[in-house]
Each structure stands twice: as C-alpha cells, then as structure tokens.
C-alpha cells in the first residue's frame, strides 16, 4: 500500500542549523576542554529562515518548495502547493495514488473541493493518521536525513540556506527514502497496538 501514498509536510529551517541544547552533549573533564570541543554554540537573535514543503513517496522525493516569505495559508496552499503535488504525484506514481497531508489548517480549510476534483484519491480528514511524527516518513526520517546532508558551515544568508536545502534534497539516498516508506505500515500497526501511544 505504501507504494501508492504520496506523503507531504512542511518545516521551517534557519541559518543557525540544527542544535538542541537538550540533546547535544560534550563530555569533558574541564570547562576549557569543553570549550575546545565546541561547547559554545551561537544563536542568532532573529535568524533568517524559510519554510520548506516537501513530498515523499516510494519512488523518491520531489524537489522542495521554498516559501521565502510568510507561511502557507489556505489560499497559498491551493494556488501554489496543490497543483505541484498533483503534477508530481502523477509523475512519480501515475494516475492511481493517495495524497496524504497532515492536519495543518491550510490543509483543511478550503481545499476539500479542489482536491476532490483533481486528486485520484485523498485521505479524508477523519482518516488521516493522528497528529503524530511517528506516522509521517518526512517527520520520522526524511527531515533528519536531509538535515544531516546539509553543509551547515556554508550557510551564511538566505540564498546559501536555500541552495544547501535544495542540494541536500538532491543527495537524499533512495534506500533511505524507500526504507522510510516500507516502515510506515509497521509503524501504523505499532501505533494501533499501543493504543495511540508513541512508537519508539
């Protein structure tokens, strides 16, 4: 079944890269040793950022849609995103595929009639997987893989951020994409077994 599903998601990225003060740890005996190993991490007060919208399916990952200004509202979603989703869905999967979208407001508001008219199949809002990162391959695999492929040291402004995002998406390994897709069914099963609890 996962061979026919086109997953989508959006995420913000900024020029500061990935740093999680809760999880990034340095082991050292002294403060000086920790500093030499990179314990200090500078964060920009108002970092330049972009929103990235991406689709993934068993056949691969589409080129990213970069939203440089603002966010994706319902009108923008219908005018800019859905036509690309339909075009790429047909290119990657033919005329028989299911479009999966998360529960973000732009995905619900005003798009139902457009999607019913154009998409071969669409999970209705009541049938979408729960709002869980455990059930979208972009959340549980593709975004982190894309971030690992990014050369964060080369990012100094919005243009280099966009370039590195596009480059990292191009370099996503097909075996990682396919593994993330094939694990989806098992994740759904685990979620059901755990009665909606997180999958580890």
CA distance 170 to 48: 22
Which residues, 6+ apart, have CB-to-CB distance to 151 below 8 Å?
A: 164, 167
- Domain range for 55 is 2-193
State residue 107's pLDDT score: 53
For the entire predicted model, the pTM comes to: 0.79
Residue 118 in any domain: the answer is: yes
State residue 22's pLDDT score: 41
Residue 200 in any domain: the answer is: no
Q: Would you say 85 and 111 are in contact if contact means Cβ atoms under 8 Å apart? A: no
State residue 128's pLDDT score: 61
State residue 23's pLDDT score: 40
Residue 199 in any domain: the answer is: no
CATH number assigned to the domain comprising residue 64: 3.30.420.10
CA 71 to chain CA mean position, Å: 15
**Alpha-carbon separation of residue 191 from 122, 131, 149, 171, 195 (angstroms):** 21, 12, 29, 31, 6
Residue 169 in any domain: the answer is: yes
Per-residue confidence in pLDDT tens, the chain, 200 aa: 688 999 988 888 888 765 444 445 566 678 787 777 655 555 667 778 899 999 999 999 988 999 988 878 888 888 989 999 999 999 999 999 988 876 665 556 567 778 888 888 877 666 666 556 678 899 888 988 888 878 778 888 999 999 999 999 999 999 999 999 999 888 888 888 887 777 66
State residue 66's pLDDT score: 93
CA distance 44 to 156: 11
Residue 132 in any domain: the answer is: yes
Residue 34 in any domain: the answer is: yes
Residue 198 in any domain: the answer is: no
- Based on the structure, what is the number of domains in the chain? 1
φ/ψ (deg, to 5) at 73 = -95, 180
Residue 67 in any domain: the answer is: yes
């Amino acid at each position: 079944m996962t061979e026919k599903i086109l997953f989508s998601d959006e995420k913000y990225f900024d020029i500061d890269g990935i740093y999680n003060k809760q999880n990034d740890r340095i082991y050292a005996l002294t403060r000086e040793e920790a500093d030499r190993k990179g314990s200090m991490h500078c964060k920009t007060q108002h970092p330049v950022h972009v929103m990235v919208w991406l689709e993934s399916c068993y056949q691969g990952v589409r080129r990213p849609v970069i939203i440089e200004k603002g966010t994706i509202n319902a009108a923008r979603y219908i005018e800019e995103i859905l036509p690309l989703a339909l075009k790429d869905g047909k290119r990657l999967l033919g005329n028989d595929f299911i479009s999966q979208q998360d529960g973000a407001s732009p995905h619900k508001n005003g798009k139902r009639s457009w999607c019913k008219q154009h998409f071969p199949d669409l999970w209705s809002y009541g049938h979408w997987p729960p709002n869980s990162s455990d059930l979208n391959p972009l959340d549980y695999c593709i975004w982190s893989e894309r971030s690992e492929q990014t050369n964060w040291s080369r990012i100094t402004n919005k243009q280099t951020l966009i370039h590195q995002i596009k480059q990292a998406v191009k370099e996503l390994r097909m075996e990682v994409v396919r593994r993330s897709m094939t694990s989806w069914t098992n994740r759904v099963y685990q979620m059901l077994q755990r009665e909606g609890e997180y999958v580890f």
